A and B are shown apart, each in its own frame.
Chain A
Amino acid sequence: MSAADYWNIVLMQGFAGLSLFSVLLLMGLGLAIIFGQMGVINMAHGEFMTIGAYTIFLCSSLTQTYAPGFMPYYFVFAIIAAFVFAFVFGWLSEWALIRHLYRRPLDTLLATWGLSLGMQQVFRSTFGAKEVSPTVPDWLLGSWTPHEGLDIPINGMFVMGLTLLVTGLVFLMLYRSRWGLRVRATVANRTMANAIGINTRKTDRMTFAIGCGIAGVAGAAFTTIGSTGPTSGSLYIVDAFLVVTFGGAASLLGTVASAFGIAQTQSVSEFFLTGSMARVLTLLLIISILMIRPQGLFAVKVRR
């Protein structure tokens, strides 16, 4: 192999790490908002992602049947639809379930676990037990080849771009919008926020729904790199939790940092070790760091 070949591999491996980073960040983001800002453990996060994935599937089948000419563009609209569906469903579940449980955070875990079981069965009954494959537009397939031997995955770039966009929007909303102000006030001191006229219940519902909506977007984006089936969500949920825990709850910056750290560790160790060993190594590293710093990388200082 020539030096150029090595250089290509280094570039592609670097991209692989970044692409894993954006995947982890995107799947962790919705969870981080819900868990970090509200203290609610949403075990159905993976299923909200699956909602997004099936939305893409629905849109692609519908477009293919009724407007084949629209195929190259449908994906963008489908992602928005995925957000809307997951958002609405999140809103409804908050209204029906979560709001009754705010004072019992550990119980939200059990309730959302039940919710996830039910949702899985709904997917299975509606779309069948087998996996489906949404037809992704041609421009999302294949790789971008700037020169011979260097292949940059287009879907990877797409996910990365989307992650940047979503993360940017979340930061903007959280730190530059009324809703963000209210959320931060509620996190800081719920009673006081209530006292000065912030409708914390409404804020909570909005936060939960937005978190679910982002999960939907993540699920939609992952149809380009992963599977779509009734239990696809369970493939991601664990990683999402690890990212959020490791980053330190209540800190979006922590989520970003931890996604980056985990992605780089995993991707580099995968390259030099076998896949299973790399996974074990990454997890052991996470656990030992959590043993030393149980509050995660970036913890908000709270007197305990």
Chain B
Amino acid sequence: MNRLRTWLTTSELAGIAVLALIIVVVFPLTLDAFRLNLVGKYLSYAFVAVGLVMLWGYAGVLSLGQGVFFGLGGYCMAMFLKLEASDPISTKIQSTPGIPDFMDWNQITAVPFWWEPFRHLPFALVAVLIVPTILAFIIGFAMFKRRVGGVYFAIITQAVALVVTVLIIGQQGYTGGVNGITDLKTMLGWDIRTDDARQTLYFVTCFLLIGTILLCRWVQRTKLGTLLLAMRDKEDRVRFSGYDVANFKVFVFCLAAMLCGVGGALFALQVGFMSASFVGIVPSIEMVIFAAVGGRMSLVGAVYGTLLVNFGKTYFSESFPEMWLFLMAALFIGVVMGFPDGLAGVYNDHIKPWLSGRRRARPVSGEPPALPVTGPASGAGWNPSVPRTLDKSGTAGHGVGAAPARLSGANP
């Protein structure tokens, strides 16, 4: 516990605990199997959003191609599941039984060699982590070593997303094309389509997500995290101090890509199929919006942002099928214009002061209401680690003082 304290403040721990409580206890108790599965799907997007917090919020690098990594992770998983679902008995009606159905439709008569290793679960699981990371490394290395950043990097990643989409759709004999890889059934004989299995997968997703948040938090707390922030705000100074800035960026980019891969794999498991529609530009931008709505500096906020946008999308489109796009447009524009720090910003600016104000006011009930207090200092009463928080927001623009962070999203 003490070691935990060294890299998690009490309020952060409380934030993560509340999130864990909501997704692990409250949702399963209140939602039916169908809605819970939906939340599970959303949470698999949250991996991408958390990765974007690291990449965009902390390192100041915006990627519009995160869908590629999400898709790659998902495809690696889906390939394993599809091979398992395509046993000769259940595919006996095909002209070549025993191969995935879409290969049969495209006159392919044998499973291609690069599909073969995906018959083994360990290989597939490793691939889920490694394949997106390798691609991210190649892209990141080429870009960051040449000091490409900001808006430019965003657009190039967008181009990558486009290329990968066209490749996947064009090679439909090997990838399923537009339809994607559908009708996934079992994992090592375990039927992933039942409500029980979905519930289990939901909890797996929750725990992995919380683990991911802790991991990212740990990275933020290390010297690397500090350097990332410093680099985002004054890249040249970090470089002049003798650090190779590019390496850090490549690392964060790879980390974010790996998280996307995990999310994609969990998505494929929970939804039962994978298609190229996750790889393109549109989903990639939507994922950025999840992070933006949550607050690009807040790991926990990213999860809430993902949930909020997706609940909004589902609710609006169910209730106002004709109008929901307007509402979504309003949500995006509203968040960007009104709440640049997203939900986390709203929390830090309004709810947190109010909470701590109440806390302080409660013991001394005779006093007049607490003065309107703003900023991290207001947490004095309930946050034992005030000096740290203060220090942090002073130097790194964390929390309330995130204004400077916003200005430097891109390279000059």
- Enumerate chain A interface residues (CB-CB to B < 8 A): 35, 39, 41, 43, 97, 100-101, 103-107, 109-111, 113-115, 117-118, 120-121, 125, 238, 241-242, 244-245, 249, 276-277, 279-280, 283-284, 286-287, 290-292, 294-295, 304
Beta-carbon contact of B152 and A249 below 8 Å: yes
Beta-carbon contact of B152 and A280 below 8 Å: no
16 A-B interface contacts by CB (under 8 A): A97-B333, A101-B337, A105-B150, A106-B56, A110-B288, A110-B332, A113-B289, A114-B333, A114-B336, A118-B330, A121-B323, A241-B155, A276-B166, A280-B163, A290-B156, A291-B143
Q: In the complex, which of the residues A39, A107, A121, A286 contacts B326, with contact meaning CB atoms closer than 8 Å? A: A121
Known: A106-B151, A238-B162. 7 other contacts (CB 8 A): A106-B150, A107-B336, A107-B340, A113-B332, A115-B329, A280-B166, A287-B160
Interface bits B364-383 vs A (CB < 8 Å: 1, else 0): 00000000000000000000
Q: In the complex, which of the residues B149, B325, B337, B410 contacts A97, with contact meaning CB atoms closer than 8 Å? A: B337
Knowing A106-B410, A277-B170, A294-B146 touch, does A111 contact B337 (C-beta < 8 A)?
A: yes
Q: How far is the CA of A120 from the CA of B340 in the complex (A)?
A: 24
B407 in the interface (beta carbon within 8 A): yes
B411 in the interface (beta carbon within 8 A): yes
Beta-carbon contact of B328 and A304 below 8 Å: no
Q: How far is the CA of A91 from the CA of B406 in the complex (A)?
A: 25
Q: Which residues of B contact A287 (CB under 8 A)?
A: 156, 159-160, 163
Q: Which residues of A contact B288 (CB under 8 A)?
A: 110
Knowing A41-B154, A104-B406, A294-B143 touch, does A241 contact B330 (C-beta < 8 A)?
A: no
Beta-carbon contact of A241 and B409 below 8 Å: no
Chain A at the B interface: SS class: helix
B331 in the interface (beta carbon within 8 A): yes
Closest B residue to A101 by CB, please name it. Answer: B336
Q: How far is the CB of A9 from chain B (nearest CB, A)?
A: 26
Chain B positions 45-77 with a Cβ under 8 Å from a chain A Cβ:
56, 62, 64
Chain B positions 159-196 with a Cβ under 8 Å from a chain A Cβ:
159-160, 162-163, 166-167, 169-170
Q: How far is the CA of A242 from the CA of B57 in the complex (A)?
A: 26
Beta-carbon contact of B170 and A114 below 8 Å: no
B308 in the interface (beta carbon within 8 A): no
Q: In the complex, which of the residues A100, A106, A245 contacts B159, with contact meaning CB atoms closer than 8 Å? A: A245
Closest 4 CB pairs of A and B: A114-B332, A118-B329, A121-B325, A294-B148
Q: In the complex, which of the residues B152, B322, B331, B336 contacts A295, with contact meaning CB atoms closer than 8 Å? A: B152
Q: How far is the CA of A125 from the CA of B156 in the complex (A)?
A: 34
Kindly name the residue among B322, B329, B406 whose own CB sees the greatest number of chain A CB atoms within 10 A.
B329
Knowing A104-B406, A106-B62 touch, does A242 contact B159 (C-beta < 8 A)?
A: yes
Q: Which residues of B contact A241 (CB under 8 A)?
A: 155, 158-159
Closest A residue to B161 by CB, please name it. Answer: A238
Beta-carbon contact of B336 and A284 below 8 Å: no
Beta-carbon contact of B410 and A120 below 8 Å: no
Q: Which residues of A contact B21 (CB under 8 A)?
A: none
Kindly name the residue among A39, A106, A286 whose own CB sees the greatest number of chain B CB atoms within 10 A.
A106
Q: How far is the CA of A121 from the CA of B406 in the complex (A)?
A: 30
B142 in the interface (beta carbon within 8 A): yes
Beta-carbon contact of A294 and B409 below 8 Å: no
B281 in the interface (beta carbon within 8 A): yes
Q: How far is the CA of A304 from the CA of B152 in the complex (A)?
A: 13
Q: Which residues of A contact B149 (CB under 8 A)?
A: 304
Beta-carbon contact of B155 and A280 below 8 Å: no
Q: How far is the CA of A249 from the CA of B154 in the complex (A)?
A: 13
Knowing A43-B285, A103-B407, A279-B166 touch, does A118 contact B325 (C-beta < 8 A)?
A: yes
Q: In the complex, which of the residues A106, A109, A117 contacts B329, with contact meaning CB atoms closer than 8 Å? A: A117
Q: Which residues of B contact A120 (CB under 8 A)?
A: 325
B292 in the interface (beta carbon within 8 A): yes
